[in-house]
Structure 1
Amino acid sequence: MSTHTEVNEWLEERQGRFIGMADQIWSNPELALAEYKACSLQSDDLAADGFTITSNIGDLPTAFMAEWSSGKAGPVIGFLGEYDALPGLSQHNQDVQDPIAVDGPGHGCGHNLLGTAALAAASVMKAWLEHSGTSATVRYYGCPAEETCEGKVFMARAGAFDDLDMAITWHPGSTNTVWAGSSLAVNNIKFRFRGRTAHAAANPETGRSALDAVELMNVGVNYLREHVIDAARLHYVITNGGGAPNVVPDDCEVWYFIRSPERHQVEELTERVRNIARGAALMTETTMEENFVSGAYNMLSNTVISEKMMAILDELGPIEFTDEERAYGKTIADAFPREIRATMLAMENLPKELIEQGLNGEVWPIRDADKVLPGSTDVSDVSWIVPTSQITTTTWALGIPGHSWAVTATGAMSIGHKGMLHAAKAMAMTGADFVLDPDLLQRAKDEFAESTKGRPYQCPIPAHVQPRKP
């Protein structure tokens, strides 16, 4: 029996365990850095499976590593998992928008599936190593706070990935393919201004408005947009704008994401934004305090791993969805305006004719190899430490936006389950193939060394910054 056949059969035999885990995480959505139930569920499961658990990685209470080794001579293969939910995306398992809890959190990015599939891949790879007697070490990383680009960056700063030979992960999506593109590097910073309170009508001249400083900073940044590269992104929300209009606010805050295709560009752009914040404080006679929340690199996909994962997806073939599942997906897709769905298909380089479909289980060629996608992920930081690649599989309807109720709606039913198990099989098979072929693994390492030559990873989070409390 071939390795791939064994992996496939072992995963099918254990699917009830993994589906149950994914559904339990979906039913208990937890926001970034507060994923206590998910972390405990997964670490307890892998401990029972024979893995050694290391907790509190990077001083993150909801980060852990599970490791099992069959021999120190073999390579160390890491699977990256996530389990944080998103605010405001609570949704019942149905094809019309209907939150379980109004304004409550939900798995609108499918991370209940993401973490579980990566865990499943690690567990099944362990079973194969035991059965075959092959020497290797397999690890699963339970990573919190991907949505805020915090978890893996603090874990990286703690050296959690330094001794890996390669890392494998995936992301739920609307197609089966390898995502080989890059992403935007990012800095995540809060700027807090402090002034002097006063009665806004009786004696405003004695006040120094922290809100004025926030607004002047935002105006300055908006003028800056004309003088940055087209691919850069600057966005913000005012997290504290004062308490009442008749009080000159003395304590206000604005939260910025600063993005660009390369890490050095983000650093340069961040300094320009800082200067604007300093200027706003000077103009308003307030003080400015910077709270650096997190930062992340741009993605560095490994071609050798990507091509192997693509071959395995081709071998596995399409996901077979039932007519009922396809109808369910079509109803969800049709809930969104046609122009939004067309934009989403174009962004994914998919034929516009697919807009008439609800679900697509086919396998598509490697995607976005030369493209920078307009988003950020802390998987990118791992990709600058060890050779890394990731796939996507179909877990939600075609053309719908990520971070929406529609993603939550398929995360705990058969559509999401099928995509999750498909991803787990592909990742476990990939890990096994690289263990069995040292030359292939060396090629991945050689490519990584060439890609990072003269550009070693430097954690973007300053040494003095500690993880925030949720």
Structure 2
Amino acid sequence: MSKPPAGSPKATAYEWIDANRGAWSDWHQHIWHLAEPAWREHESAAWYVARLRAEGFDVEAGSAGMPTAFCATWSNGSSGPTLLTYAEYDAVPGNCQAPAPHEAPRAGLGPDAPGHTDPHSALGIATLTGLLATKRAMTEHGVAGTLRYTGEPAEKMHGSKVVHGLRGYYDDVDAIVSFHPFYMLPLCNTARWDTQCGAYFSRVYTFVCDEPQTWQSGVNPNSPIPASHSAARAPGANIALMQMYAASRAMHDAMLPSVGGWSLSDAILSSGQATADNLPPRIARIQYAWRTPDVEAAERVLEVLDRNAQHAAAVAHCRLESVWVARSRPGLTNHALSDALYRNLAGVGAPVLGPDAVDAARRIQQALGLDPMEAPFLPECESLITPRDAELAIRAQLPGWQRNWTSDDYVEMTHYAPTVRFYVARPALRPPPGGGPYPAWAMNALGGIPSAIDPTIEVAGKTVAGTFVDLLLDAGLRERARAEFVERSKESGLAPLLPADFEPPVDLPWPEYVRDRDGTRRWLGAGAHG
């Protein structure tokens, strides 16, 4: 690590992060243990709102009509640039893991409850740490400017950023810094260069059987009950859903070529009927999400899914409703910001995983029946790779025609303001010789063990703060970033893919925790494993 000059704004920011290590480590533990799923991050969002207000920010809770979103603003004077970073805090059902070197759910929960996988808990606390460190530097050194911090729920569904963008929350921003813990090589301790994330579409199809009596209206006309117990009844919503599911799975391989890095995922949303009865199932829902290198490919998948849904509804005597969850454009790169951020990341240095983290990693390997390694972590976790070198490694594995790779919802931000996307290593285990990947619980556990995950938060927080200080003080950097943004926006020519009045689907039956009368927090989906 190369230290900034003593007494400089950047040094002040780094000193704040070092001095408050215990606080932000505890903050992370709190969010990590809450582990609330998409659109239902009520306690996590409330914690951020309270924390930011305590730090002097003006906070709009429930921003853009999303109950678990927020927008916080703090200004030092009436001049200077506006800089933005953000928190994410949604977790994933079925990944409940204790911060322990063995497989076990968190206390009082079963393995089917949510857990932080990426982990978004570290994403949010790292950017919050960088934000508050920048605020301290601005205050002590009289640096003018405005800091904006948004709470972005439902990232796993690309839920909020498209909505915040449509509502204008990014319009007057001079630069955005987007962080994510490393999740795939070579994007470890680096910034993206040319190859940004691609398109993402997600849609919920609802099958409604609300006129079952018209299925065979001439059968048993003397019965006072439409479609009575002894008569043929309407197939109902469950049949429609299964027709949709089977048809789309059967056509999966024919939707797009087998190269290019695309995926189609589905989830059946529980609602409508919780018990079996001899009445036609009235409502059934299925969500599809697909990731493609470009919008054109995503539109082709949409055509197939829409057609399958229409036919499934007709077969089962249902009407069809559909609602968008997200519809994101591929991202725009910004070399000026990537260079500036990477200089700060290189100055801070890669995370250093100390003896306690190494011990935890070895104990995980031992729990899996492996011989503990002397160096149990991936070597890439503690080394840097330049944005250009990472770009070369990405391009080496992609077809020449493909411009984008993987999917993340930061891409929508890149169409509203100059944006840089960077990664800092999360702790990841070195594969055993001749062995396959580790089970998901191993990496999830490391994301909750302070000695393993705190170095990620520290490095990312200092990188955010250092980049913000440079942007506040260097008008030339801001001008170069803005000019590049304008040029790339013209080249892209992509308008928002959803209407300006799009309403986020927060009222759908997404899984969530509940609290019993005595205040006990319970995962609503807990069943045989709970």
Compute the TM-score of the two structures, normalised by the length of structure 2. Answer: 0.77
Q: Report the counterpart of residue 290 of structure 2 in structure 1.
A: 258
Distance 2:499 2:154 in 1: 15
1:213–1:374 Cα change, 3 Å: farther
User: Is 1:111 aligned to residue 120 of structure 2?
Assistant: yes
Q: Which of 237, 251, 267 is matched with 1:223 structurally?
A: 251
User: Is 1:439 aligned to residue 476 of structure 2?
Assistant: yes
Q: Report the counterpart of residue 408 of structure 2 in structure 1.
A: 377
What secondary structure sits across from 1:452 in the alignment? helix
Give yes or no for contact 1:359–1:396 (8 Å, CA) kept in 2. Answer: no
Give yes or no for contact 2:266–2:288 (8 Å, CA) kept in 1. Answer: yes
Q: Which letter does structure 2 place at the counterpart of 1:177?
A: T
Q: Which of 1, 19, 42 is matched with 1:36 structurally?
A: 42
Deviation of residue 200 (structure 1)? 11
1:326–1:300 Cα change, 3 Å: farther
1:219–1:61 Cα change, 3 Å: closer
Distance 1:331 1:308 in 2: 39
Distance 2:440 2:78 in 1: 44
What secondary structure sits across from 1:313 in the alignment? helix
Q: Report the counterpart of residue 498 of structure 2 in structure 1.
A: 460
Give yes or no for contact 2:31–2:44 (8 Å, CA) kept in 1. Answer: yes
Give yes or no for contact 1:208–1:250 (8 Å, CA) kept in 2. Answer: no
Q: Report the counterpart of residue 177 of structure 1 in structure 2.
A: 190
What secondary structure sits across from 2:201 in the alignment? strand
Deviation of residue 374 (structure 1)? 6.0
Give yes or no for contact 2:358–2:376 (8 Å, CA) kept in 1. Answer: no
Distance 2:410 2:263 in 1: 19
User: Is 1:408 aligned to residue 444 of structure 2?
Assistant: yes
Distance 2:439 2:493 in 1: 33
Distance 1:217 1:410 in 2: 39
Distance 2:439 2:407 in 1: 13
For residues 242-257 of structure 1, the aligned pairs below 5 Å read 244=276, 249-257=281-289
Distance 2:456 2:73 in 1: 25
Q: Which letter does structure 2 place at the counterpart of 1:105?
A: P
Distance 2:50 2:175 in 1: 25
Moved more, 454-463 or 112-121: 454-463
RMSD over aligned CA atoms reads 3.1
Give yes or no for contact 1:330–1:397 (8 Å, CA) kept in 2. Answer: no
Deviation of residue 212 (structure 1)? 3.3
Q: Deviations for 1:74-126, whole angstroms, at most 9, x for unmatched residues?
A: 11110121112221222111121111121222222211111111111111111
Q: Report the counterpart of residue 46 of structure 1 in structure 2.
A: 52
User: Is 1:314 aligned to residue 346 of structure 2?
Assistant: yes
Deviation of residue 207 (structure 1)? 2.3
Uncovered stretches (5+) of structure 2, i.e. residues with no partner? 1-5, 214-225, 432-436, 511-530
1:249–1:324 Cα change, 3 Å: same
Distance 2:69 2:236 in 1: 40
Q: Which letter does structure 2 place at the counterpart of 1:207?
A: A
1:71–1:291 Cα change, 3 Å: same
User: Is 1:213 aligned to residue 220 of structure 2?
Assistant: no
Q: Deviations for 1:158-197, whole angstroms, at most 9, x for unmatched residues?
A: 2111111111121123632224432232222111223438
Q: Report the counterpart of residue 362 of structure 1 in structure 2.
A: 383
Deviation of residue 12 (structure 1)? 0.8
Distance 1:278 1:26 in 2: 41
Deviation of residue 280 (structure 1)? 2.5
Q: Deviations for 1:217-246, whole angstroms, at most 9, x for unmatched residues?
A: 334333263142443432223335975497
Q: Deviations for 1:296-344, whole angstroms, at most 9, x for unmatched residues?
A: 2323332221122212221122322223422423554687899xxxxxx
Q: Report the counterpart of residue 7 of structure 1 in structure 2.
A: 13
Q: Report the counterpart of residue 93 of structure 1 in structure 2.
A: 99
Percent identical: 25
User: Is 1:426 aligned to residue 426 of structure 2?
Assistant: no
Give yes or no for contact 1:177–1:392 (8 Å, CA) kept in 2. Answer: yes
Q: Which letter does structure 1 place at the counterpart of 2:324?
A: F
1:240–1:17 Cα change, 3 Å: closer
Q: Deviations for 1:11-52, whole angstroms, at most 9, x for unmatched residues?
A: 111222211211111222222222222222222222222222
Larger radius of gyration: 2
Q: Report the counterpart of residue 188 of structure 1 in structure 2.
A: 202
Distance 2:169 2:339 in 1: 26
Q: Report the counterpart of residue 335 of structure 2 in structure 1.
A: 303
Give yes or no for contact 1:110–1:407 (8 Å, CA) kept in 2. Answer: no
Moved more, 31-40 or 366-375: 366-375
Give yes or no for contact 2:361–2:377 (8 Å, CA) kept in 1. Answer: no
1:56–1:247 Cα change, 3 Å: closer
Q: Report the counterpart of residue 153 of structure 1 in structure 2.
A: 162
Deviation of residue 427 (structure 1)? 0.8
Moved more, 152-161 or 246-255: 246-255
Give yes or no for contact 1:387–1:448 (8 Å, CA) kept in 2. Answer: yes
What secondary structure sits across from 2:129 in the alignment? helix
Q: Which of 432, 437, 454 is matched with 1:417 structurally?
A: 454
Q: Which letter does structure 2 place at the counterpart of 1:255?
A: Q
What secondary structure sits across from 2:90 in the alignment? coil
Distance 2:20 2:41 in 1: 24
Give yes or no for contact 1:86–1:403 (8 Å, CA) kept in 2. Answer: no
Distance 2:369 2:191 in 1: 27
1:317–1:466 Cα change, 3 Å: closer
Q: Which letter does structure 1 place at the counterpart of 2:25?
A: I
Aligned pairs, number: 454
Q: Report the counterpart of residue 135 of structure 1 in structure 2.
A: 144
Give yes or no for contact 1:326–1:359 (8 Å, CA) kept in 2. Answer: no
1:332–1:247 Cα change, 3 Å: farther
Q: Which letter does structure 1 place at the counterpart of 2:86?
A: L
Deviation of residue 145 (structure 1)? 1.4
Give yes or no for contact 1:78–1:140 (8 Å, CA) kept in 2. Answer: yes
Distance 1:94 1:358 in 2: 22
Q: Which letter does structure 1 place at the counterpart of 2:201?
A: N
Distance 2:92 2:42 in 1: 15
Q: Which letter does structure 2 place at the counterpart of 1:164?
A: V
Moved more, 439-448 or 317-326: 317-326
Q: Report the counterpart of residue 63 of structure 2 in structure 1.
A: 57
Give yes or no for contact 2:381–2:426 (8 Å, CA) kept in 1. Answer: no
What secondary structure sits across from 2:79 in the alignment? coil
For residues 76-91 of structure 1, the aligned pairs below 5 Å read 76-91=82-97
Q: Report the counterpart of residue 236 of structure 1 in structure 2.
A: 266
